[in-house]
Structure 1
């Protein structure tokens, strides 16, 4: 009888654990991710090899259940964020994921531009359409368009920028219909939408989408970057270094394992990122010897200063290097003595 009761208790406890693990709290938890070597995922046509490696660093981010929340509370390098600190107001999970992937695509494009220009190669852009980031609730696009769709034309009109698209729609009157041609999962589709005023601004008309320009960078030699489902812009600096290293004959790695983080702008500026402490932990676990961190013009709370603090706390031997621009990173590596 006791065995049966114990077995029943284990079953009930197991079911409770399973059920409660799917109950999510209004928080996100982030923790150290991985440091991933970039040479296998970035390929410049006929590019040069390297003795060491450049690595991107990641964090793991997910919705908090009661167990992950409790663990994060007592873990030094796990962080808890309220939902509103991660997602924009009225932003769905799908829209958040699309936004993260789009920021990754933008980061890759900026990295290619900066690296190719630095190496002396011409860069061109091909306009692909309008990328849908967000659907406004209770507007015509809801239920017909989705985040991630690419609008190709409206009423057979093609555009060269989102500004032209906005001007075209703004000239319509409430109640007028427009035919929107868009791509979704590589298939072309058409939706008929009725233009209407926005709930919060009756003087403004539209179909109810948040949008950005979708441009494809065109370079020779060709380059491919396979990031799978990694999102966000924080790998920009390391993408740029890997691409540039494959374009030039001088191996900037000098035989070292070099990790780092930081956004990259088209002018080569390196920007602040989130989760710097967790990325330092990930890089240290991957045996990185050098870590580039955004210096933010020597701000008192810069990523660099936090990276130095974390490296000291975990007893890491990594050299933490402050970086404000891509050119600074290249200059540091050019002066670096080859690893013996």
Structure 2
């Protein structure tokens, strides 16, 4: 056998061996890639993504696309070395250490459940932000998220209960409930007025000491009572990063005229009830997903602008979004050709 043939044979065996090792050796990384997009003023399976009942709505056009990041890997389904290597080569994909997505003390199921809860909360906050933008009043309520096992509220207060009073005094903010409980001494009784299943109930609990302060073991979250029904359906999408696009979709449906002017708009960003837009992760993958879906405009949280500018795909215009109101004005300026359109800058 010639030296050339021997070299080729040995090289072939090495490549084969490396391929086998790469295909069977798992590595603690997660691959992030462009995920699906959904038009918040469109439909999924012939059902509207945003359905508004009890209030007049108006026709829309174009698209207001939420964007997502798909992930591969995790504690229960680790990727192999070859998959990680392919991700490192592909500029549209990110390969990150597993612990950046899944904390060591939390299971993959717990992370996915948390993402689902965050999505639900973001939909409520998005509705509140949209109604604030349109000057439509609504009520703030206090909802029980959970109770602490073994604490006084365990078994007496239920998830989903709405707290309306403490010792007969009406409350509308979680801070008011916390302050009322902390004003007691361990062992003191506190009576909570709650609504459950449409009925009002009084539940009396004795406080216990925890960390030097009296508690009853209720985990609360702010909720809302809107004057009409807003249902949002996005299937398996999780996390809070679609808040801005939900708010814009609601605003578009509730106002005359067409916010996009028929343009293909995508974007991302968390949203607060006051309309403030917050940063998100996976901006590079989300921009690729947006461009692949045909978007030419991308609403970008202000704190993500610097990162986004380094990876923006050709044909995608970045528009800086600091607030819902600002994003709405930017779209109106894009459609009319008049007014300022805030751009991301370095």
The secondary structure found in structure 1 opposite 2:312 is helix
Tell me how far apart the structure 2 counterparts of residues 69 and 182 of structure 1 sit (CA, whole Å): 54
Residue from 211, 228, 234 that aligns with 1:227:
234
How far apart are 1:128 and its partner, in Å? 5.0
The answer to whether the aligner puts 1:317 opposite 2:327 as a matched pair is: no
**CA-to-aligned-CA distance 1:118-160 (integer Å, 9 cap, x gap):** 33x422115253212x85xx854899699x9334569998964
- 1:130/1:152 contact within 8 Å kept: yes
Matching residue of 2:325: 327
How far apart are 1:271 and its partner, in Å? 1.4
How far apart are 1:226 and its partner, in Å? 1.9
Residue from 196, 214, 217 that aligns with 2:225:
217
**CA-to-aligned-CA distance 1:81-109 (integer Å, 9 cap, x gap):** 443x4467855556544443333233223
The answer to whether the aligner puts 1:63 opposite 2:74 as a matched pair is: yes
Tell me how far apart the structure 1 counterparts of residues 197 and 115 of structure 2 sit (CA, whole Å): 18
Map 1:1-340 onto structure 2 (within 5 A). 28-39=30-41, 40-44=48-52, 45-61=55-71, 63-64=74-75, 65-67=77-79, 71-75=83-87, 76=90, 77-83=93-99, 85-86=100-101, 91=106, 95-119=110-134, 121-127=135-141, 129-132=143-146, 140=151, 149-152=159-162, 160-167=172-179, 170=182, 171=184, 173=186, 196-198=208-210, 201=211, 203-206=212-215, 208=217, 211-220=219-228, 222-296=229-303, 303-312=304-313, 316-337=314-335
The secondary structure found in structure 2 opposite 1:63 is coil
TM-score, normalised with respect to structure 1: 0.69
Matching residue of 2:20: none
Q: Which runs of 5+ in 2 are unaligned?
A: 1-23, 42-47, 338-346
Q: Which runs of 5+ in 1 are unaligned?
A: 1-19, 297-302
The secondary structure found in structure 2 opposite 1:287 is coil
Tell me how far apart the structure 2 counterparts of residues 159 and 262 of structure 1 sit (CA, whole Å): 31
RMSD over equivalenced CA pairs, Å: 4.3
How far apart are 1:280 and its partner, in Å? 0.9
How far apart are 1:28 and its partner, in Å? 4.9
Change in CA separation of 1:196 and 1:229 when aligned onto 2, cut-off 3 Å: farther
Tell me how far apart the structure 2 counterparts of residues 74 and 60 of structure 1 sit (CA, whole Å): 16
Matching residue of 2:6: none
Tell me how far apart the structure 2 counterparts of residues 141 and 69 of structure 1 sit (CA, whole Å): 50
Tell me how far apart the structure 2 counterparts of residues 51 and 305 of structure 1 sit (CA, whole Å): 30
Tell me how far apart the structure 1 counterparts of residues 107 and 192 of structure 2 sit (CA, whole Å): 23
Change in CA separation of 1:169 and 1:29 when aligned onto 2, cut-off 3 Å: farther
The secondary structure found in structure 2 opposite 1:56 is strand
Change in CA separation of 1:311 and 1:338 when aligned onto 2, cut-off 3 Å: same
How far apart are 1:167 and its partner, in Å? 5.0
- 2:140/2:172 contact within 8 Å kept: no
- 2:35/2:67 contact within 8 Å kept: yes
How far apart are 1:67 and its partner, in Å? 2.1
Count, aligned residues: 297
Change in CA separation of 1:113 and 1:308 when aligned onto 2, cut-off 3 Å: same
The secondary structure found in structure 2 opposite 1:332 is helix
Change in CA separation of 1:194 and 1:90 when aligned onto 2, cut-off 3 Å: farther
Tell me how far apart the structure 1 counterparts of residues 32 and 145 of structure 2 sit (CA, whole Å): 28
Change in CA separation of 1:196 and 1:131 when aligned onto 2, cut-off 3 Å: same
- 1:131/1:150 contact within 8 Å kept: yes
Change in CA separation of 1:179 and 1:328 when aligned onto 2, cut-off 3 Å: closer
